[in-house]
A and B are shown apart, each in its own frame.
Chain A
Amino acid sequence: DADVTQTPRNRITKTGKRIMLECSQTKGHDRMYWYRQDPGLGLRLIYYSFDVKDINKGEISDGYSVSRQAQAKFSLSLESAIPNQTALYFCATSSGREEQPQHFGDGTRLSIL
């Protein structure tokens, strides 16, 4: 979905490095989410935000932090990357309307050596 843009699309880095993944959206949605996807495990929620002043931990928030700089921007940081954080990371947005479908970016493939 081109309305949800993730950067970078791919990143290879070393253990212990600080990494930031960016997400921006043009859909005007209030709600934004970060997930990671691992083979055989599906999608797991890391953090979510319902508006600029709202940050909530998801299922697997340890080792991650987020910043909601504006309605359109939601970044995910790994303060000190470790190899088991190697995964595909997705940002998603939703409007908060009753049917609340989430719209996903194309993902960031992160490899930590």
Chain B
Amino acid sequence: GEDVEQSLFLSVREGDSSVINCTYTDSSSTYLYWYKQEPGAGLQLLTYIFSNMDMKQDQRLTVLLNKKDKHLSLRIADTQTGDSAIYFCAEGGNYGGSQGNLIFGKGTKLSVKP
């Protein structure tokens, strides 16, 4: 079945760049997503990338997609303490034969040290 893998923890210093990596298995995924979850809150959609793109940039966020290796990364430039959160990678899966469901990774907890 479909699977999405992420490392569970990442720690960086304020001002450095953070890179969160994700691998997925479903080659038919059309879109890949990054969500952010702050403590006590729901998941906030950060950005998404269409599967025929290699890169998408949005202010401090850069998404890189290597479709051949099924590898997705999220780079946060100039990481701030407010970026501390859990980041979820998700693919537009085909769960149970139904288009539209997302398969989520377990989340990467980003800790930003001052």
Taking beta carbons and an 8 Å cutoff, which residues of A are in contact with B? 1, 4, 31, 33, 40-43, 45, 48, 50, 56-59, 90, 92, 94, 96, 98-107
Known contacts A43-B88, A100-B31; is-contact A106 B42 (Cβ 8 Å): yes
Interface size on B, residues (CB 8 A): 25
Known contacts A40-B8, A90-B43, A99-B48; is-contact A50 B106 (Cβ 8 Å): no
Of A4, A43, A48, the residue contacting B104 (CB under 8 A) is A43
Known contacts A42-B107, A90-B43, A106-B41; is-contact A50 B96 (Cβ 8 Å): no
Closest residue to A40 on the B side, CB-wise? B106
Of A33, A57, A90, the residue contacting B42 (CB under 8 A) is A90
Of B42, B98, B105, B106, the residue contacting A107 (CB under 8 A) is B42
Known contacts A40-B8, A100-B31, A103-B45; is-contact A48 B101 (Cβ 8 Å): yes
